[in-house]
Chains A and B, each alone.
Chain A
Amino acid sequence: MITNYIHSISTLLNNYKGQSTSIAPLVIWRIGFGLVMLISTVRYLLMGWVDDQLVSPKLHFSYYGFDWVAPLPGMGMYLVFSVMILACLAIVLGFYYRIFSILFFLTFTYVELIDITYYLNHYYFVSIVAYLMIIVPANSFFSIDCLRNPSIKRQLVPRWTIDIFKFQIAVVYIYAGIAKINYDWLFNALPLAIWLPAKSDIPIIGSLFQYKFTAYLFSWLGMLFDTFIVVGLLFKSTRWLSYTAVIIFHTLTGILFQIGVFPVVMIFAVTIFFSSTFHERLLVNIARFLKMRFSLPFIDTSTVKARLVPNRIMLFLLIFISFQLLFPWRYLVYPGNVFWTEEGYRFSWRVMLMEKAGTATFYVRDGDSGREGSVINHQFLNEHQEKQMSMQPDLILQFAHYLEEHYKAEGMSNPKVRVEAWVTLNARPAQLIIDPRLDLTQIDDSWTHKDWINDLNYP
């Protein structure tokens, strides 16, 4: 029985390894990804965020294990962004594609790792896609590289080079959907019951937002949309309907919430689910628009057998896919409410899922003299950092350690740091997230359960 099962899986896999498909979706993906990233990077620069978020802050909150990542001094960060912009252009044009896709992945991920308070799921998504872009032959058609070196030109690629992006998009949506299956979201319509009434001044639809019913409707529809949209995109008969839903959903969330370029990224990304023929026609139209000589038909993809996918690629895919499927579930090994403790919260596609805010007052005591004073957070942090830090236990701990080092450098031989952090989650009464008597300098962050976080009083 089991051997039969394994046998049929290996037959399926072997069959899959031999399958190839039109390169057109991958080429459109390359151009689209390059363009969206170009817009996003230029926007970041024009907003002045390089200075505000990266250069000016006195300290940065780091990702666990990445505290060695620091911004470059002087004009260094602008140099990084110049490289990133060049890399986006080169990706669009397919110009020295491999080198520039590596450069884009490195520069983007570097900037992302500088400060965890700017963590966004969609930055993580971009990093993953940028990494995958390095290993797919997206420049093998309709690119400057093909003009430079016609031998790389091909119209067929192994199926995995396109399916892997579909897989990643499916993970984003489905996990975002599963994350919405929780009591607050479905049965209290929270946090939408807080957010929607606050937006009731939006023209036309705004008047609907004052009703509790609307919050419930949006909560359930949002959960169903995220969980099942990929199924709709997979089948030809429901694809356009689903894509229309994608556009409506992301436009609406884009209007309602401050989520920047995220809707644009997703509205573009799901086009990869469209058929090869759709992408081939799109390529022809782009070529025509650019007055280039270009002709269909593409090779009849059904009759050509591609080379078998090498085992090292299969192994990579196995590891990558397993990681993506398993990592978001790690919150299950920690006790307590994941929204409250945030243990296993990040990198799990929990998008716009909770309303959480805190006020954290730190007290530093001179262990020798016993004198204690309170800290004025904004002398060290910008407003964004303070807001994020005040409700996330691991960041509170990081700041406490920073204060310890700071006051040691100021000459205090034995500083003790404690915090009074009042945090409210989804309209629950605020409560202390950490025992205010605890000396945080004695606690170190780790992957193990943070038993120094207070339990949520109102589950």
Chain B
Amino acid sequence: MGFNDYLNSVVGGEELVTTTIPVIEDIDDAISSLPQGRLSDQIEAQEVITLRDLLQANTANFKSSMSSILGISITFNSGDGD
């Protein structure tokens, strides 16, 4: 079973896949349309800012939504109760 299948198999997985895939495609497009040359010179170019915004918008899909539906408990110390 691939990761995509696994993600699709858990509660809420399909919806997450449906919302995330187009965003990743947009990110791909944004990367291909980056201007030529060194990124450090282009840091204020509109294409770079667009890419940054897209990556930022996608953060929640991975950071909170995916870890949440996969039941990955990200704890930073072992926790004390409840």
Q: Which residues of chain A have a CB within 8 Å of any CB of chain B?
A: 40, 44, 47-49, 52-53, 118, 120-123, 188, 190, 193-199, 257-262, 265, 351-352, 355-359, 361, 374, 382-384, 387, 390-391, 422-424, 427-430
1/0 per residue B5-16: CB within 8 Å of A? Answer: 000001110011
Whether B78 and A47, one on each chain, are in contact in the complex, defined by CB atoms closer than 8 angstroms, is yes
Residues on the A chain within 8 Å of B72, using CB: 198
Q: How many A-B residue pairs have CB under 8 A?
A: 110
Main secondary structure of the interface of A (DSSP, over half): mixed
Tell me the chain B residues, 25-82 only, with Cβ under 8 Å from chain A. 56, 59-61, 63-65, 67-82
Query: Complex: how many Å from CA A391 to CA B74?
Result: 14
* Chain B residues whose C-beta falls within 8 Å of the C-beta of A122 in the assembled complex: 80-82
**Cβ–Cβ contact B81 & A120, under 8 A:** yes
Q: Name 25 interchain pairs, CB-CB below 8 A, sorted by A.
A: A47-B77, A47-B78, A120-B81, A193-B11, A194-B10, A194-B11, A194-B71, A257-B73, A258-B78, A259-B79, A259-B81, A260-B78, A260-B81, A351-B82, A352-B82, A358-B60, A359-B64, A361-B59, A384-B75, A384-B76, A391-B64, A424-B65, A424-B69, A427-B10, A427-B69
**Bound-state Cα–Cα, A122 to B81, Å:** 7
Docked pose: A121 CA to B82 CA in angstroms: 6
Given contacts A355-B71, A427-B69, 10 further A-B contacts (CB under 8 A): A47-B77, A120-B81, A122-B80, A123-B81, A259-B79, A262-B81, A355-B69, A361-B59, A422-B60, A423-B64
Known interface pairs A190-B11, A429-B16; A261-B80 also in contact (CB < 8 Å): yes
Chain A residues lying within 8 Å of B78, measured Cβ to Cβ, are: 47, 258, 260
Q: Which residues of B contact A121 (CB under 8 A)?
A: 81-82
Complex CA gap A355/B74 in Å reads 12
Where chain B touches its partner, the secondary structure class is loop
Q: Interface on B for A, CB 8 Å cutoff? A: 10-12, 15-16, 19, 56, 59-61, 63-65, 67-82
Instruction: Collect the chain A residues with CB atoms within 8 Å of residue B73's CB.
Output: 198, 257-258
Question: Are B81 and A429 in contact, CB atoms less than 8 angstroms apart?
Answer: no
Chain B residues lying within 8 Å of A44, measured Cβ to Cβ, are 80
Q: Which of B60, B71, B76 contacts A430 (CB 8 A)?
A: B60
B16 vs chain A, min Cβ distance (A): 7
Q: Which of A40, A188, A258, A424 contacts B79 (CB 8 A)?
A: A258
Q: How far is the CA of A361 from the CA of B55 in the complex (A)?
A: 12
> CB-CB < 8 A to B59: which residues of A?
359, 361
**Nearest Cβ distance between residue A448 and chain B, in whole angstroms?**
27
Q: How long is the Cα–Cα vector from A242 to B1 in the complex, in angstroms? A: 43
CB B7 to nearest CB in A, in angstroms, measures: 12
With A194-B68, A423-B64, A424-B68 as given contacts, are A429 and B15 in contact (CB-CB < 8 Å)? yes
Among B63, B65, B75, find the residue whose CB has the most chain A CB atoms closer than 10 A: B65
Contact call B79/A430, Cβ cutoff below 8 A: no
